[in-house]
Amino acid sequence: MISRAPQLPPRSLSKLLRYLATTLICCIIASIDLYAVDYYVDSEEGKDRWSGTSPSRAWKSLKRVNQKTFEAGDRILLRAGSVWKGQLSLRGEGQSGRPITLSTYGDGDRPLIEGEGKRDYTLLLRNVQYWEVSGIEITNTGKTRGPGRRGVIVQAEDFGESHHIHLSDLVIRDVNGSLRKKEQQGGSGILVRCEGKEVPSRFVDLMIENCHILRCERNGINFSGNYQRDSWFPSLQVVIRGNLLEGVPGDGIVPIGCDGALVEHNVMRDCPDVLEPSEAAAGIWPWSSDNTIIQYNEVSGHNAKWDGQGFDADFNSFGTVIQYNYSHDNAGGFILICNRGDTLGTPGNMGTKDTVVRYNVSVNDGIREYPTKQAGWFTPVFHITGPVENTKIYNNLIILPKKRIDEIDSEIVHFNNWGGPWPKDTLFANNIFIAEDSVGFHSEEDEGTVYTNNCYFGTFERLPDDEAAILEDPALADASARGDGFEILKAFMLRSDSPCIEAGLQGLEDVSDLFGNVIGNEAVPSVGIHQF
């Protein structure tokens, strides 16, 4: 008799095959992970002739790291307390789910890399992808200020798409770059750059999070490349979140050549007044970027003599949303919305359109500490200039206290015509304007400007035409409150006796107020930042 193997039912056979396939895949993944290596680097106890694969056999120098092309899943771990002089130029590509990591090990101070100004970077990630860098400290201080000097450069050049570059928990300080912006010579803490003539290049899933940018000149976090509309290839999934910028005199955070960038929960403060009067700079703003969302940021103490606002929606940008931010004590005002008319229609400037500014707080913006009238400067809270189109400004709170000196220009809104044309179709609705000194609203040849359902309380030289104006105390919880941080903004909630409750224009957008209260399409919005 011939023995036969038992026959499995079709369903049992299918389950067995799935089990075997899953087991095989797990074995393959496990075998791949065996090839991922941890490399240790110790500036004091390491030796470059060692393997680097354990703390006791650590490498010593940055040069040894620069020689290695790393593989997916590898980790480069710098020992806490180590100090190197030189530059780190990282090579290799990770994979989705298996990035290459540069981080730290051990207890003590952050590993420190001092660039000494000898190159235009201390840390370079050029034509790589799937990298995560965290936990280290970087300087790049030369004997004198140098053009184009940065702390970190992230660059894609003739590379195509560079995916998943994450920088987090870095300290980048004391980068004494040039203070002059011309031809991209101004220095910065972090520069993100897209270049190349052969292969369009951009970043996808780029994140800069929880970094401390300290005493970097001229700028904090800025971008370059991909701004021409005839070769439009914007970076995607860009997130700049939770960073602290201090002692940065120029531009704070500037996405360029991006679509859908998210800039949130950042703080920029204490900007020294060291720029030349010809050097325009502002806090957080997109240029040549679409659909940028700028929210929950705090900018204070910007002192640039040209511009010097907390925020800006700049030209060749569509659909910028600036919401839920706190701007205070910025010499040049709260916000600039601009377009350069004499370049409109070129590949580098297709307009500034559909900007939304909502649920922000501005306190003491646009009051400089020195005379401005004789110098021809002006410092409005809102500066709207050139052929910007379809700007909506609603449910903001503006508090402008007394001027400290008499020879200072002070206005809530100033329209003018950078490059020739004037702004068109600007809406101011549901805003609260509180002026403790005599201020005005400047308007000349702007077209289609509408003011409606705004509250004006205090002293004004002139008021705009506003048929639904509220001309009484908005009854805030404590309009005199001042300070840093978002916690102070609770003082600007409406009291129960406020005339601003359910007094706003309906039909703007279905959003939340500054404090998270949802305002449905059918609800009557309050005036100001708080839906009582």
CB-CB contact of 374 with 340 (8 Å) = no
CB-CB contact of 188 with 219 (8 Å) = yes
Predicted local confidence at residue 391, as pLDDT: 98
| Six token digits for residue 307 | 């511009």
Predicted local confidence at residue 86, as pLDDT: 98
Tell which residue, 268, 163, 164, has the closest CA to residue 212.
268
pLDDT tens for each residue of 399-455: 998 776 666 677 899 999 999 999 999 999 999 999 988 888 999 999 999 999 999
Predicted local confidence at residue 14, as pLDDT: 61
Predicted local confidence at residue 79, as pLDDT: 98
Integer-rounded Cα radius of gyration of the chain: 27
CATH architecture of residue range(s) 36-156+177-206? 3 Solenoid (2.160)
Predicted local confidence at residue 378, as pLDDT: 73
CA angle 277, 273, 223 (to 5 degrees): 80
Asked if residue 91 has a cis previous peptide bond (ω within 30° of 0), the answer is no
State yes or no: pLDDT of 12 exceeds 70.
no
pLDDT tens for each residue of 325-373: 999 999 999 999 999 999 999 999 999 999 999 999 999 998 887 766 6
State yes or no: pLDDT of 265 exceeds 80.
yes
Cα dihedral 261, 139, 117, 310 sign:
positive
Predicted local confidence at residue 8, as pLDDT: 47
State yes or no: pLDDT of 211 exceeds 70.
yes
pTM of the shown model: 0.92
pLDDT (average), residues 5-24: 57
Long-range contacts formed by 444-447: CB under 8 A, 24+ apart? 444/415, 444/416, 444/417, 445/417, 446/384, 446/415, 446/422, 447/422, 447/423
DSSP-assigned beta bridge partners for residue 426: 391
State yes or no: pLDDT of 13 exceeds 70.
no
State yes or no: pLDDT of 62 exceeds 80.
yes
**pLDDT band at residue 5 using 50, 70 and 90 as cut-offs:** very low
Beta-carbon neighbour count of residue 5 at 10 Å?
Answer: 5
Domain ranges of the chain: 36-156+177-206
pLDDT tens for each residue of 156-179: 999 999 999 999 999 999 999 999
CA pair distance 306, 142, nearest whole angstrom: 27
Average pLDDT over all residues of the chain:
92
Lowest mean pLDDT among 66-80, 263-277, 512-526: 512-526
Question: In the chain, pLDDT over 90 holds for what percent of residues?
Answer: 83
Predicted local confidence at residue 410, as pLDDT: 76
State yes or no: pLDDT of 29 exceeds 70.
no
State yes or no: pLDDT of 11 exceeds 70.
no
Predicted local confidence at residue 33, as pLDDT: 55
Beta-carbon neighbour count of residue 447 at 10 Å?
Answer: 13
- The H or E element that residue 33 is part of is helix 10-33
pLDDT tens for each residue of 453-465: 999 999 998 899 9
**pLDDT band at residue 102 using 50, 70 and 90 as cut-offs:** very high
